[in-house]
Amino acid sequence: MLTIRFSRVGRKNRAQFRIVLQEKTATPSGRHVAILGSYDPHLKVAVLKADKIKEWLGKGAQASDSVYNLFVREGIVEGDKRKVKMPKPEVKEVPVEEVKPEEVKSEEKPAEEPKTEEKPTESKVDEKPVEDRKEEVK
């Protein structure tokens, strides 16, 4: 199946698009059947071959959503624009349980936890006195 879509050209941060007719399974920058126009999104300027576009659409070629919206804006195709943005996923809200005032009072006074004293840990590398170490070295 043939599709009409954008193929990005241009340098970094300065995109321009060719409007190409190609096989649907081909990559957008891959091999194409025909170049049907170009589009500059920065200047919003489209140069289109309207007669060729209408011919291919008449033969059964499908236009991508973005290209279709461009054709509608330029007056080549009549109809409503298609939605291009993907819908946001719905976030399920977790029901919040109401806390009774009696429960709040009991939570305010937590039971005292026994205090644990932390003893400084000494390095247990060599527990022998320094004098004994000197004798072992000799």
Q: Give the model's pLDDT for residue 101.
A: 65
Q: Per-residue confidence at 90, pLDDT binned at 50, 70, 90?
A: confident
Note the pTM of the prediction, 2 decimals: 0.59
Query: Residue ranges per domain, the chain?
Result: 2-74
Q: Give the model's pLDDT for residue 28.
A: 75
Tokens of 119: 């003893």
Q: Per-residue confidence at 85, pLDDT binned at 50, 70, 90?
A: confident
Q: Give the model's pLDDT for residue 114.
A: 60
pLDDT of residue 43 exceeding 90, the answer is yes
Q: How far apart are CA 18 and CA 46, in angstroms?
A: 10
Tokens of 34: 């025909």
Question: Which CATH code fits 2-74?
Answer: 3.30.1320.10
CB-based contact 22:33 (threshold 8 Å): yes
pLDDT in tens, 4-42: 999 999 899 999 999 999 988 887 777 889 999 999 999
Q: How far apart are CA 61 and CA 23, in angstroms?
A: 9
